[in-house]
Chain A
Amino acid sequence: MELHEFTVSEAAATVRRREVSSTDLVRALLARMEALEPALGAMLHWDAEAALAEARARDAEPPIGPLHGVPIALKDNLSVKGQFCSCASRILQGYRAPYDATVVEKLRQAGAVLLGRTNMDEFAMGSSTESSVICPTRNPWDFERTPGGSSGGSAAAVAARESFAALGSDTGGSIRQPAAFCGCVGLKPTYGRVSRYGLVAFASSLDQIGPLARDAQDAARILHAISGPDPRDSTSLPDAPPDFVAALGRGIRRLKLGLPREYFSGGMDADVEQAVRAAVRVLEGLGAEAVEISLPHTEHAVAAYYVLATAEASANLARFDGVRYGRRAENPADPLEMYGRTRAEGFGAEVKRRIILGTYVLSSGYHDAYYLHAQKVRTLIRRDFRQAFERCDVLLTPTTPSPAFKLGEKIQDPLQMYLADIFTIAANLAGVCALSLTCGFVEREKKLPVGLQIIGPWMGEETLFRVAGAYEQASAWHKEAPLG
């Protein structure tokens, strides 16, 4: 087995046993990146020397944490002191963060080595990584297809074995949808489980940082390392992380699995539905019980999401004005012109579209009809989930209605692109946790992975891992690799 094929757990164990060094691991992954990157486009930038220096430092000391010496890639919207943080946007050209995000601090405390920065949709706005101004990322299973988005670079890098795992961010499905498209495990934690301090905000009330990994165990290890209360994020929750890894083997006897009627009412590819239903039968075979439930306000989720997320984004992205950092338009006549030109030149089309939409829904005269209305829908969706979790332990849905779509297929049609997140958005609106794992493959031109979404209640990640752990015990989909 080659070094780049390790999981996080294997890599951590071999480094701990001193069978390989962290430096060996970093070298192996750098070589993999050198070989694949020109075609794949999963990484935006990496500093080989810095990563090797970190690895050598880990090799020179006794293990400081459970991820000691394990290289991990980061989405390019996380702040690392001294590193570029472009969010795949022209407007942050040249900006280096002067501080570490809380998750970065925590990864370092766990002993991890920061490997490089993954590609993404500009400011995490998109579902295909095509809105990255640098380059699109390709799907390792089929280079003609997108890896999903916005954490497409993270998912592709993990699937292509360029990194053992990566962090992404999920505002409406941005971890789970690319995980499904690339055949990874992707977890959006409960809102408040992981500190957002240092994550460049898209929609503050929806954003969560989470892991993309090869299997559930790796995701559990990384979640454990990055979660917990943070005094720098007022919205972080006080709970210390429980032992997520232990939950993996706890079994699922008598667990109630809810199948939301609204998610299975047509609109998804037949073979995708088949794969999901087969996974449900596997779980039933392990002692769980499937029941049909209803999330009656599901059909309003996408609309409410695009009002709330864009409203928050319009304020969050107002700070990119050329005054203090990043790109600034040349020779503006006055501040107003500087703002206008800096932002016109610096933002891509999708980001502009969302800023304009968000500004509109908050404008006086429209605020109540859009923003306030969407808040009410959000309350109803939250209630849907609360009621569902009174009846069952987790909900099972497909992560996406179809497998990875083709590059260019939806980029000209924003509405179609928005609908790619139709199954993932509600979890963000409700603030609950959700995980996507591979539950089969379907044939298109190439073989493509299908994602099963497991949605858990607030702070219910342990239950997600029980289900994911049990499923991976009973299946081998997660062991499949693209690119040979």
Chain B
Amino acid sequence: MNYEAVIGLEVHVQLRTRTKMFCGCENEFGAAPNTRTCPVCLGLPGALPTPNHAAIHLVALTGLMLGCEIAPRCKFDRKSYFYPDMPKNYQISQYDLPTCRGGGLEIMRESYPKDAQKKVVAGRYIRLVRIHLEEDVAKSFHFETASGIDFNRAGTPLMEIVTMPDLRSPEEAFAFLSTLKLVLLYGGVSDADMEKGQLRCDCNVSVRPVGQEELGTKVEIKNMNSISGVRRALAYEIERQTEMLRGGGRLTQETRRWDEAAGATFAMRGKEMAHDYRYFPEPDLLPVDTAAWLDDVRRRVPELPLARKRRFVEMLKVSDSNAGVLVADCALADWFEKAVKDVTNTQGVANLVVNDLLRELGAAGKGVTESPVAPEALGALVALTDAGRISSSQAKEVFVEMFRTGRAAAEIVTERGLEQVSDAGAIGKLCDEVLEGNAPIVVQIRAGNAKAVGNLVGQVMKLSKGKANPAMVNAVLHRKLGL
């Protein structure tokens, strides 16, 4: 029997705000332990939360980017459980009136793992259940004989995105998270770095015989700290569940912990998961009416990666694969848009950016915002090739020099004497010289071997030290040979 996996994700996203969710402490990663705390985020007796509206706006912005319905009125609730990392032993969260409901995300082809591009199912749309806002917990550190808690993270804004069980494979989950991450970066909602814990993902996964409508027993897996870790954990877990069912075993609904080093999931102890959260409305906070500011947030919705890619392909004639590479990095796509601003050969720019710029940046260990070549300067380089002043292979050479020195293209071209010869008289002379010296080839051509012209073109180019305009050489030779 064949089995298929059914996967739903709960994605936690740390929001990029100046301050924490319910107090004025800085929301900052990497500060010295317990230096970003106050009575509110330490849960001291008598301290009260006040909402960070910027965080609520970011959740609404995310909802708008993902096509969710934004609640006209949302509210906060208390979710109770005891945990050393949680200062109040309840978490302020949103229970029955989350900020966003519904919506979904179309997975981008480029988001699939490189080795799984063949498994891509085009246009997969993953529906969302809801997006809500809550406060993050502190972080524990365990020493030899004691534990310590750093409360810098306690009370920072955390957004939870819950998907429908629409995902069908580890690769799809990987791709969904990658596309989602890109959307979050585009919106400036989060830095979404999973390794830094800015993006965290719990997976609900079950398997069922192909064709069966009813869902199998759901297992929750936790503790993955990279998107590829999510893929590995899911692959392991699906395999485990399938084997279990094939062997006639029964699965139990449980929470399992992914152990990256062991490459396996392990059941968590019962008391770590059996919670009755006893939700009730947070009496210290008033409900939030979203209508008052939703239009302002709507104006902040950016063009999303998929739409941008389509525009690059359709309007700027960029190849599908180049467009995919460009939009995968918002800053790179921005850079590209600046470079093509006054250029007609947008495809040429895209080629240089995707092949040459990225290669040089990679070698130099730099990001696109640190590129020594300004986007306008690259545009000027492509303008030179378009005007026929240098060949495209020369352009690549010039680009390397631009990257090395930061100098302008025209300057390098002049200095190196790279300018193409496009003077018909001069090219005619060179062609005559080559035709004279290659009588046997001329005979072959006349006998019908038109391909041999290429050989002659190459010789003319060589004679011109590469400066002749190859297109003109080709045309002149054809004319002279009467082709």
Contacts and interface: CB of A to CB of B under 8 A. Distances in A.
Contact of A231 (B39, B50, B284): B50
A473 B284 CA distance: 40
B278 A363 contact: yes
A339 B149 CA distance: 16
Contacts of A323: 84, 149
Interface stretch (A3-11, A93-101, A159-167, A415-423): A93-101
A92 B45 contact: yes
A367 B276 CA distance: 11
A198 interface: yes
A235 B278 contact: no
B276 to A, nearest CB: 5
A389 B276 CA distance: 41
Given A234-B51, A234-B286, A201 B46 contact: yes
A312 interface: yes
A235 B88 contact: no
Contacts of A318: 80, 82, 88-90
B271 interface: yes
A97 B38 CA distance: 12
B382 to A, nearest CB: 55
Nearest to A233: B48
A200 interface: yes
22 contacts: A92-B45, A99-B39, A99-B44, A196-B46, A197-B46, A200-B45, A201-B284, A231-B50, A235-B285, A315-B80, A315-B88, A315-B90, A318-B88, A321-B89, A324-B43, A324-B87, A335-B82, A336-B82, A362-B279, A363-B278, A364-B278, A367-B280
A336 B78 CA distance: 21
A232 B50 contact: yes
B280 A371 contact: yes
Question: Which 3 pairs of residues, A with B, have the shortest CB-CB distance?
Answer: A318-B89, A205-B283, A362-B278
Interface in B27-70: 39, 42-51
Interface of A: 77-79, 85, 87, 92, 95, 97-99, 101, 196-201, 203-205, 231-235, 311-312, 314-315, 318-321, 323-325, 335-336, 339, 359, 362-364, 367, 371
Contacts of B44: 79, 97-99, 324-325
A335 B283 CA distance: 28
A78 B46 contact: yes
Nearest to A192: B286
A311 B46 contact: no
A319 B44 CA distance: 8
Nearest to B40: A232
B271 to A, nearest CB: 7
B39 to A, nearest CB: 5
Interface in B271-298: 271, 276, 278-280, 283-286
Contact of B46 (A97, A231, A359): A97
Determine the main DSSP class of B at the interface with A: loop
Given A95-B45, A198-B46, A315-B90, A339 B82 contact: yes
Nearest to B151: A324
Contacts of B280: 311-312, 315, 362, 367, 371
Interface of B: 39, 42-51, 78, 80, 82, 84, 87-90, 149, 271, 276, 278-280, 283-286
Given A97-B44, A315-B280, A234 B39 contact: no
B271 A336 contact: yes
A324 B140 CA distance: 13
Contact of A204 (B50, B87, B284): B284
Contacts of A314: 80, 278
A204 B46 contact: no
A101 B271 contact: no
Nearest to A101: B46
A120 to B, nearest CB: 14
B370 to A, nearest CB: 41
Contacts of A359: 278
A216 to B, nearest CB: 28
Contacts of B45: 79, 85, 87, 92, 95, 97, 200-201, 319-320
A172 B279 CA distance: 23
Contacts of A197: 46-48
A91 to B, nearest CB: 10
B2 to A, nearest CB: 38
Given A97-B46, A204-B284, 16 more contacts: A97-B45, A99-B44, A101-B46, A198-B46, A201-B45, A203-B283, A232-B50, A233-B50, A318-B82, A318-B89, A321-B82, A324-B43, A324-B87, A336-B271, A362-B279, A364-B278
Contact of A234 (B43, B47, B284): B284
A342 to B, nearest CB: 11
A98 B37 CA distance: 12
A372 to B, nearest CB: 9
A392 B56 CA distance: 42
B276 A364 contact: yes
Contacts of A325: 44
Contacts of B39: 79, 98-99
Nearest to A365: B276
A335 B84 contact: yes
A383 B55 CA distance: 35
B284 A367 contact: no
A192 B39 CA distance: 21
B80 to A, nearest CB: 5
Most chain B CB neighbours (cut-off 10 Å) among A77, A319, A336, A362: A319
B73 to A, nearest CB: 15
A204 B88 contact: no
B48 A234 contact: yes
Contacts of B285: 234-235
Contacts of B78: 315
B283 to A, nearest CB: 4
Contacts of B49: 234
Contacts of B50: 231-234
A99 B279 CA distance: 29
Contacts of A321: 82, 84, 89
Contacts of A231: 50
A314 B82 CA distance: 12
A199 B44 CA distance: 11
A346 B276 CA distance: 24
A204 B271 CA distance: 30
A167 B82 CA distance: 33
Most chain A CB neighbours (cut-off 10 Å) among B39, B46, B88, B284: B46
Given A196-B48, A199-B46, A336-B271, A312 B88 contact: no
